[in-house]
């Protein structure tokens, strides 16, 4: 009996490191499940493919993204006419490597080869849902890493809210490669946390490399957002530290350098391509911008900011909470407002979009604002639920 008592495993107390890890895993799993359930049930209610007769493969999704994934299927199964360098089925034969780096370099893209060739549209839809779930799970993991909330499931709800933001369901869902940026933002914020703490640089560099290789366009925007996140974290935890900023710059440079074999063909081909339609940025009206904070709204040339009403209430009430340190209140509130204003100003609009107004929606960086809204909401929750006065003031702001 003495031997049995000595060797019997002891129950882990809630304060041990294993307990937070289990809570983080549970929150991430719940966030992913909520995102999957919301996307699929929403499409089923709207009778959209694959749950109804309304088709989602229109415009670029039908004419570019699904065919590109079909060619990737042929390439992985050894049935393609050509290889990674040249695609003989496109026109009279065109280089394929730049298209691969632009549309198909996501680590998740090869999963389409698991489906039958005839069901490639189903595979792309499943890939879209999977990426949305991973964005929710990564965000829940980030929030748990930042601080603890009143309950372990709060980060799950906030993470799902980020993954189901208006940008995700109205723009990202029809551009599968953009959803890699939705995943990249919380991952790069986790990299910023590692850099701030000075822990294990190699995983941080590899994470940056994977994010940039997956989709450099949205990864660039996510990197800008993560840089702002790092500055806010430094401002709320003791002020700027040049050593941390230098370490962040080196980590980013090394990660982008590792992704260079994928990025270089894209950049070279972009320089040699015929110039497209040149557009000037025309900011949306304030009424339209504010309206897009609410669900059930749509506008092609307006920012899809909607990120769930509870998130808006929590983020808006942060500035009125006396139980939250003043530095945290004003840094996170100011950062959200600053990023929101940067969407509307021409020079910062160009910075967000690699110094070229896109031929399409000019608010492709909106997912970063949605992520910062979620982080601001969680910053207040780290100090408990808001009181009645703060919640009423935040509700007044939202109204």
pLDDT tens-digit readout, 37-52: 999 999 999 999 999 9
Compute the distance between CA of residue 311 and CA of residue 157 in angstroms, rounded to an integer: 9
Dihedral sign (CA 19, 149, 369, 254)? negative
Q: What is the mean pLDDT of residues 222-233?
A: 97
pLDDT at 5: 35
pLDDT at 161 over 90: yes
Name the helix (H) or strand (E) containing 138.
helix 120-146
Compute the distance between CA of residue 269 and CA of residue 272 in angstroms, rounded to an integer: 5
pLDDT at 159 over 50: yes
pLDDT at 156: 96
pLDDT at 133 over 90: yes
pLDDT at 141: 96
The per-residue pLDDT for range 275-317, each reduced to its tens digit, is: 667 788 889 999 999 999 888 888 888 999 899 888 999 999 9
pLDDT at 149: 79
Compute the distance between CA of residue 78 and CA of residue 59 in angstroms, rounded to an integer: 28
Out of 149-153, 255-259, 380-384, give the one with best mean pLDDT. Answer: 255-259
**Averaged pLDDT of the chain:** 90
Residue 113 near residue 73, CB atoms below 8 Å: yes
Residues 6 or more apart whose Cβ sits within 8 Å of residue 381:
149, 150, 154, 158, 314
Q: What is the mean pLDDT of residues 356-376?
A: 93
């Amino acid at each position: 009996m003495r031997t049995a008592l000595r060797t019997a495993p002891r129950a882990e107390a809630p304060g041990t490191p294993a307990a937070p890890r289990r809570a983080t895993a549970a929150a991430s799993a719940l966030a992913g499940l909520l995102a999957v359930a919301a996307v699929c049930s929403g499409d089923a209610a709207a009778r959209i493919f694959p749950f109804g007769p309304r088709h989602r493969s229109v415009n670029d999704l039908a004419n570019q993204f699904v065919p590109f994934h079909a060619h990737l299927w042929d390439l992985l199964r050894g049935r393609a006419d050509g290889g990674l360098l040249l695609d003989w089925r496109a026109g009279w034969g065109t280089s394929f490597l730049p298209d691969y780096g632009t549309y198909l370099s996501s680590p998740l893209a090869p999963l389409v080869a698991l489906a039958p060739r005839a069901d490639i549209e189903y595979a792309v839809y499943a890939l879209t849902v999977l990426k949305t779930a991973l964005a929710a799970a990564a965000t829940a993991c980030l929030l748990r890493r930042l601080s603890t909330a009143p309950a372990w499931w709060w980060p799950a709800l906030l993470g799902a809210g980020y993954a189901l933001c208006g940008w995700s369901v109205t723009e990202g869902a029809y551009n599968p490669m953009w959803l890699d940026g939705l995943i990249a933002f919380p991952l790069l914020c986790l990299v910023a946390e590692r850099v701030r703490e000075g822990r294990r640089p190699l995983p941080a560099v590899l994470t940056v490399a994977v994010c940039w290789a997956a989709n450099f366009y949205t990864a660039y925007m996510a990197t800008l957002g993560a840089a702002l996140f790092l500055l806010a974290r430094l401002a709320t935890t003791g002020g700027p530290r040049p050593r941390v900023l230098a370490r962040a710059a080196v980590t980013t440079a090394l990660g982008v350098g590792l992704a260079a074999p994928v990025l270089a063909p894209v950049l070279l081909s972009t320089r040699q391509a015929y110039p497209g339609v040149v557009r000037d940025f025309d900011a949306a009206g304030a009424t339209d911008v504010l309206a897009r904070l609410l669900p059930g709204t749509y506008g092609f040339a307006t920012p899809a900011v909607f990120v769930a009403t509870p998130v808006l209430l929590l983020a808006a009430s942060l500035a009125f909470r006396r139980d939250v340190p003043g530095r945290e209140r004003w840094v996170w509130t100011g950062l959200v407002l600053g990023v929101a204003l940067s969407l509307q100003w021409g020079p910062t609009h160009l910075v967000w979009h690699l110094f070229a107004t896109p031929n399409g929606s000019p608010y492709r960086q909106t997912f970063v604002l949605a992520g910062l809204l979620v982080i601001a909401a969680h910053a207040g929750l780290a100090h408990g639920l808001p009181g009645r006065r703060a919640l009423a003031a935040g509700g007044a702001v939202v109204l």
